[in-house]
Amino acid sequence: MKIKRYVARNMTQALQRIKIELGDEAIILDTKRRTKKQVESGKEIQYIEVTAAIDHEPEQQKRPDIERNNYAPSESLDLAHTPLLILHEIFSGLGMDQRLQRALTCEFLNVYHSLPYVSYKDVWDWLRSYCLKTITVQKESFEKGTKIRWAFVGPPGSGKTTNLAKLAARMKFQFGMKGMLLTTDTYRLGAAHQLERFAHLMDIPFTVALDPNSVAKILDNNTDLDFILVDTIGRSSLDPAHKHELGHLLGTASQLRCQVVISATDKNEDIAAATRFYKKFATVGWIISKMDATKSYSNLLMPILGNQIPITYISTGQRVPEDITQPSVEMMLSYLLKMPARHIKQQAKTSTPNRKVA
């Protein structure tokens, strides 16, 4: 007689496995409901343990898949519910790159290491709470006496000038702050004029600074102003001259802090390169622009969950000053966990009722 023990989520799954492995003639010797408590989360997980037996070995042809692959699954594994398969399916569905998948899988297994299987609900619940703990949003603080000295930096066309203008309008008209706009972008034809036009419309003083020394002098001469926002030339983080140029500006005008502007439409690799590059400089936070111009935010998963960049604002359109928002952690979560694969979406709907899909 051959006796085997099966662990599964429910009776149906246990019987399916028994039928596949032992055949129709198998008999059930014992059934037990079990509960396991997670040490870390304190959560109780229920599963079923079934002991089955057969008088003689099942015929080889009844197990074609197993034989063909020369693969004998462990008796305690219910393959459909093994953690790695579910994690991989969900993470890939979200468009996570391999490096982030590995990191999050380790985090997940730190909590669920002792379970032979997990459900989609377990993974979604964990992912949601992990994101809520990990996503960092930086709240603005425009209280009286605050001196804002920000340089808007980032790749070409990412939305630096537009978002600088939006924030200048917010500070002046919403918070009654006094300020000045500055540009160091004398390279691109029309760049200075673009900001000058915004400054003129908002009736905010505007100056062009030709080099870092001029910027430092202007900052020193205007210590009474609540805000001075400095527009910079768009540079690729792959450009070796950019590190020197930005380092020189921040070293000379040492009160300046960077607002890094990246676009949600940029490619994975470009956003990753920008994250690595700007992390080295003194930053207030990150503005993610053009959130309205895409429906796929998987390229933001690594910087937000992996590098934990502090997000100050998201911009959702071209209108100045309306289209800029301070996001909440939940808002970012709803962008990031938006699920492209229909079947995963379906599973998540039943497993994570609080999750909002944008």
Ligand X SMILES: Nc1nc2c(ncn2[C@@H]2O[C@H](COP(=O)(O)OP(=O)(O)OP(=O)(O)O)[C@@H](O)[C@H]2O)c(=O)[nH]1
Please choose, from the candidates 237, 79, 144, 4, the residue with its C-alpha nearest in 3D space to the C-alpha of residue 89: 79
- Residue 67 vs 322, nearer CB to ligand X: 322
Residues 6+ apart with CB under 8 A from 39: 114
Contact flag: residue 275 with Mg ion (CB under 5 A): no
If contact means CB under 5 to 8 A according to the sort of partner, which of Mg ion, ligand X, none does residue 327 touch? none
> Shortest gap between Cβ of 249 and Mg ion (angstroms)?
15
**Residue number, 156 or 247, with CB nearest to ligand X:** 156
Q: What is the CA radius of gyration of the chain?
A: 28
Closest CB 191 distance from Mg ion, rounded Å: 5
Binds 159: which of ligand X, Mg ion, none (CB < 5-8 Å by kind)? ligand X
Pick from 267, 254, 347: which is nearest to 300 by CA?
Answer: 267
What minimum distance in Å lies between the beta carbon of 265 and Mg ion? 16
Binders of ligand X: how many residues, by CB under 6 A?
21
Q: Which amino acid is at 29?
A: L
Return the residues of window 101-160 that contact ligand X according to CB under 6 A.
154, 156-160
* CB closer to ligand X out of 126 and 152: 152
- Should residue 161 be labelled a site residue for Mg ion when binding is judged by CB under 5 A? yes
**310: partner contacted, choices Mg ion, ligand X, none (Cβ within 5-8 A by kind):** none
Within 189-218, which residues bind ligand X (CB under 6 A)? 191
Give the count of alpha carbons within 13 A of 252, CB side only.
16
Helix, coil or strand: residue 148: strand
Work out what residue 158 binds among Mg ion, ligand X, none; the CB cut-off runs from 5 to 8 Å by kind: ligand X
Residue 285 gets which letter from DSSP?
Answer: E
Q: Are the C-beta atoms of 229 and 147 separated by less than 8 Å?
A: no
d(CA 142, CA 171): 8
Residue 167 DSSP one-character state: H
Q: Which residue is nearest to ligand X (CB)?
A: 234
Q: Which stretch binds Mg ion (CB under 5 A): 86-94, 125-133, 152-160, 163-171?
A: 152-160
Residues 297-326 that bind ligand X (CB under 6 A): 315-318, 323
CB nearer ligand X, residue 19 or residue 197: 197
- Chain center to CA of 260: 16
CA 226 to CA 245: how far, in whole Å? Answer: 26
Parallel, antiparallel or unpaired: strands 310-315 and 283-289? parallel
Residues making contact with ligand X (CB under 6 A): 154, 156-162, 185, 188, 191, 234, 289-290, 292-293, 315-318, 323
